[in-house]
Structure 1
Amino acid sequence: MAKVLVVDDDPSIRQLLSDVLELDGHEVHVAVDGADGVQAYANLRPDFVVLDVMMPRLDGYEVLRRIRTAEESTVPVLLLSAAPDCAARGREIGASYYLAKPFTADEVLYLIDGVLGHETPMADVRAAVDVARGRGYSGYT
């Protein structure tokens, strides 16, 4: 499967996405803020990046700028944010995709698998999400 970097300052989102993506067979790496995300990207060269916009140290826009200037990277980047203007601004900087918070874990998984050419049957997506839900997550399904 793919190497996915999740950059988000919210531990529950990081854990949920890690669990669901790992259950789907992906190798998942996490970063707790923007500065750590830039470093992780440089070290890992992931196949896909899930990136929160509002984070300490460096916001997601700056992380995205740095990713896009790193050897002219074309890695797919999914921006996550609750702010309504993030989609347009992210697109200008080079975001590939955008999901508004709150989002569902199956939306993220289905998007990543579709982009990377891995067709996950919807029943398998649901099973992975159900397992993650069983670990006590709330707010994001």
Structure 2
Amino acid sequence: MANILVVDDELGIRELLFEILNDEGHAVELAENAAQARALRERQRPDLVLLDIWMPDTDGVTLLKEWSAAGQLTMPVIMMSGHATIDTAVEATRIGAMAFLEKPITLQKLLQSVAQGLDKLASRPASAPASAALAPPDADAPPAPETGAAPERASASQFDFDLPLREARDAFERAYFEFHLVQEHGSMTRVAEKTGLERTHLYRKLKQLGIDLSKTKRGAA
């Protein structure tokens, strides 16, 4: 897929965006301030940047101006903020930002903006500057087709109806989520969409049911 740089001073937001984008197959680098972002921009040459506006050392709009003035705005930049004004968003767009996401960021808007940014990058003429650091070939290739039979749906005969209701329900939910994890090749984002759960709720549910996500992802690799 692509190499994405996330710049945000809030640890929780960095971790959440890392989980979502990494789950989508992207290589994700994290920076908590403008100084780290500058260094990673030079070293990794990201394909797309998610840049917070309000940061303690240098704000995102100022950093965007720096990159633009130095001819380093060679990648789509998506600005993020929970407190920005319309004027700030307009200024960032004028400087060269591709989009603006208001916090709290919804999963749908995040993935849609990232996809649009990467489409924009891919549509550039061959002569235009482009970032060179892409994810390794095996990371951005689609999952290999299953050689065996597709996972079977659980049938009533697989459950012990003599169990107390709570235990029987847990057994069903475990089979239900394991089925969808296999179907979606371990992608938590797609499983969340398929089951209608928020990602945080889904993670808690899988942990509660004792489902080992590392094994699921290894099996899907």
| 125-134 or 103-112, which deviates more | 125-134
2:147 aligns with none
Q: 1:77 to 1:128 in 2, by over 3 A?
A: farther
Partners of 1:38 and 1:49 in 2: CA distance:
11
Q: CA deviation at 1:126?
A: 4.5
Q: 1:40 to 1:72 in 2, by over 3 A?
A: closer
Q: 1:92 to 1:66 in 2, by over 3 A?
A: same
1:139 aligns with none
Structure 2 unmatched runs, 5+: 123-183, 205-221
Structure 1 or 2: more helix by fraction: 2
What root-mean-square deviation, in Å, do the aligned CA atoms of Structure 1 and Structure 2 show? 2.4
Q: 1:128 to 1:16 in 2, by over 3 A?
A: farther
Q: How many pairs align?
A: 132
Partners of 1:58 and 1:128 in 2: CA distance:
36
Q: 1:128 to 1:61 in 2, by over 3 A?
A: farther
2:14 aligns with 14
2:46 aligns with 46
1:84 aligns with 85
Q: CA deviation at 1:69?
A: 3.1
Structure 1 unmatched runs, 5+: 137-141
Structure 1 or 2: more strand by fraction: 1
Specify the structure having the higher radius of gyration (Cα). Answer: 2
Given residue 38 of structure 2, which amino acid in structure 1 is its aligned partner?
V
Q: CA deviation at 1:72?
A: 4.5
Partners of 1:126 and 1:116 in 2: CA distance:
19
2:191 aligns with 127
2:112 aligns with 110
Aligned residues with identical type, % of pairs: 35
Q: Is the 8 A contact 1:106 1:126 kept in 2?
A: no
2:6 alignment partner, SS class: strand
Tell me the TM-score normalized by structure 2. 0.54
Q: CA deviation at 1:127?
A: 3.0
2:54 alignment partner, SS class: coil
